[in-house]
């Protein structure tokens, strides 16, 4: 489960480039059917999440600088928030779309499939809370409930299991911001105790508390067990060992990775 949550998640393309920048002129940013339906790719999910989150990092409230100054639809906002904290944001997926939840890893000949998908899929289905194959397969992984607008620095911490959100009952969509390293500079603006409340005035889906709960559990176990540090080292080692086979194809991971992670 640690592996799938830590899988490389998409960062948003450089929106200043015409080839990747979604055109606000071509998108009606009212509460339209297009926004309310589930996005089908990373770029459309990023755009929809920014709209839902009012162009801010959901954790710190800092305004997304790229969209703030690139869209005629938010020129007034740019003037009103000229002195507000700005940041570069990414769409942070709670569960990565790069995990092919439709795959049947037990029948796959690809050891990567068995390694990255098999165990996490069994964990999620076994939890009784999430039907990953139904909720997160294919383009469903880009649903708004699986994403948060987050500053790039916090996005990295979230992906590496160093930052997570714990729901504060009985409040709905209110979370305690938890970190392994309390000195994360991007969080300095938050008062102590660090809490956030997610809201939207557009009736769009907020991050799913079930997804955040599992992410939080993975983070806690990863650090209590030492798995996070182990995976950091494994990622570095895999990067060094990613060589091409003689026929030019990518070298595969060992066929039985469970033996190396079983203790976690």
Region 44-51 average pLDDT? 93
Higher pLDDT, 194 or 21: 194
Q: List, for residues 238-254, the tens digit of each pLDDT value.
A: 555 554 444 555 554 44
pLDDT at 127: 61
pLDDT at 5: 54
**Is-cis flag, bond preceding 170, omega within 30?**
yes
pLDDT at 204: 93
pLDDT confidence of 262, banded at 50, 70, 90?
A: very low
Q: List, for residues 185-203, the tens digit of each pLDDT value.
A: 888 888 888 999 999 988 8
Give the relative orientation of helices 209-225 and 227-241 as an angle to the nearest 10 degrees: 90
Q: List, for residues 50-106, the tens digit of each pLDDT value.
A: 999 998 999 999 989 887 777 665 566 666 666 778 899 999 999 888 765 555 555
Residue with the two structure tokens 């938010």: 74
Query: What is the SS3 assignment for 88?
Result: coil
Q: Is the dihedral of CA 211, 213, 215, 217 positive or negative?
A: negative
pTM of the model: 0.71
Do the beta carbons of residue 166 and residue 176 sit within 8 Å? yes
- For residue 121, is pLDDT > 80? no
Pairing of strands 163-167, 147-151: unpaired
Interatomic CA distance for residues 264 and 260, integer angstroms:
9
- Determine how many CB atoms are found less than 10 A away from the CB of residue 214: 22
Q: List, for residues 196-228, the tens digit of each pLDDT value.
A: 999 998 889 999 999 999 889 888 887 776 645
Q: Where are the alpha helices (DSSP H) in 146-208?
A: 152-159
pLDDT at 74: 58
Max CA separation in the chain (angstroms): 59
- For residue 232, is pLDDT > 60? no
Q: List, for residues 132-169, the tens digit of each pLDDT value.
A: 778 888 888 999 999 999 999 999 999 888 999 999 99
**Is-cis flag, bond preceding 193, omega within 30?**
yes
Write the CA distances from 57 to 99, 120, 221, integer angstroms. 25, 28, 26
Interatomic CA distance for residues 133 and 100, integer angstroms:
9
Interatomic CA distance for residues 81 and 70, integer angstroms:
14
Pairing of strands 86-87, 63-64: parallel
């Amino acid at each position: 489960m640690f592996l799938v949550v830590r899988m490389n998640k998409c960062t948003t393309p450089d929106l200043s480039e015409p080839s990747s920048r979604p055109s606000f002129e071509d998108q009606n940013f009212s509460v339209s059917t297009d926004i309310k339906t589930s996005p089908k790719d990373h770029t459309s999910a990023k755009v929809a999440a920014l709209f839902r989150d009012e162009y801010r990092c959901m954790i710190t409230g800092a305004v997304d600088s790229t969209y703030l100054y690139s869209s005629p639809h938010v020129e007034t906002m740019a003037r009103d928030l000229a002195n507000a904290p700005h940041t570069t944001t990414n769409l942070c997926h709670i569960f990565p779309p790069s995990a092919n939840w439709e795959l049947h890893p037990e029948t796959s000949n690809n050891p990567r499939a068995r390694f990255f998908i098999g165990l996490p899929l069994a964990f999620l289905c076994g939890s009784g809370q999430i039907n990953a194959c139904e909720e997160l397969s294919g383009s469903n992984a880009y649903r708004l409930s699986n994403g948060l607008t987050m500053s790039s620095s916090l996005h990295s911490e979230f992906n590496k299991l160093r930052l997570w959100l714990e729901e504060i009952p009985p409040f709905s969509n209110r979370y305690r911001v938890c970190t392994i390293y309390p000195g994360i500079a991007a969080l300095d603006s938050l008062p102590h105790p660090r809490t956030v409340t997610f809201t939207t005035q557009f009736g769009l889906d907020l991050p799913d508390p079930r997804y955040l709960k599992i992410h939080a559990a993975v983070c806690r176990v990863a650090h209590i067990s030492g798995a996070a540090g182990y995976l950091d080292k494994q990622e570095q080692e895999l990067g060094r060992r990613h060589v091409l086979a003689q026929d030019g194809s990518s070298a595969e991971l060992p066929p039985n990775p469970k033996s190396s992670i079983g203790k976690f």
